[in-house]
Amino acid sequence: MVHGVLLINKTKGGTSHSVVTALRRIIQQKEIGHAGTLDPMAEGLLLVLLGYGTKLSHYLLTNDKRYRFMFRFGIITDTLDKTGTTINQQKVQLEQKHIKQVLENNLGKLSLPVPLVSAVKIKGKKLYEYKRKSQSVTPPTREMTFYNLNIKNITTHHCHTDNNPTVEVELSCSKGSYIRSWVSFIGEEMGTGACLEELMRLHSTPFNIEKALTLQEVEKRLNREEINSETIAEKLYPAFIPFPKALPHIESVCVARQDERQLRQGQISKSIKLALQDKQKEVNRSKETQTIRAMNHNNKQMLALLKLQPFLSPRFLRVFPSGLS
């Protein structure tokens, strides 16, 4: 079985689930999942988790992301994007200077409603399930953070609604933030409404789209090859990240050979605690918990994930079996 993270460049039209289904056939293993859903209209970076990589989902889902997207003023839909039912549509005329000012003035923490196409649950049912069944529901409001805005293009027209002003930007956001919500908010601030038309994920910390492969590229590279860890690592490089290297954004501690067995048995030796001493002091000062990767003596296997808490002894989050290299 193959263990790790595979960077996929998802194309428009397919779902994240359809990508996973296709890869189960191509790689010939069932244990495949993903971290961070991309809906059918979206494209770009999808983190696919293989084997024990599925156990790392939480540590990848909680990270910031970056998108490139385009939206149009003067159109409001029930899904906040072009796939939804139009609620209001009007011809608008806006100046580039005004648009730029509103964009730059509405970054940081914002309290915004979650889109109806999201997987956020209300009374045990996902919002998009209410939408599909045409059932009325009020989406919850959530604190979202948007930053590092890069305005790529602003086009203003003065003909009809199809040529209303459009904006193309790149924008970073925190976990649980929705680009659709920000676009809708910008439309409200402009007094015109706005609708998302294109969306591409460029970055999902700690990985970038530059190394990602499309499904077609994966299938072509693995054609008639015997599927194993070595083949995957060689043929899909650099899109495939082996399990030990799957969490490079999380700090690590190297465990001496004589302490490895003890660690796998759920015990943290004195020497490991000593190696974590400086990190523990940082946690005590900041009063914020920290996750640590426990790596083996030659840094080629991830043995466990540990949790450091203020003024408490380190504890285990997860212990991994041997051989996940």
Catalytic residue positions, numbered: 39
What whole-number distance in Å separates Cα of residue 211 and Cα of residue 192? 38
Which candidate, 62, 39, 66, 60, places its Cα nearest to that of 48? 60
- Helix H segments across 116-269? 127-132, 179-190, 215-221, 229-235, 257-264
**Hunting for tokens 């906040």 — which residue is that?**
80
Cβ proximity of 182 and 171 under 8 Å? yes
85 class by beta-carbon count within 10 Å (0-12 exposed, 13-18 middle, 19+ buried): exposed
DSSP state of 324: -
Which residues neighbour 244 within 8 Å (Cβ) at sequence distance 6 or greater?
Answer: 295, 299, 300, 301, 302, 324, 325
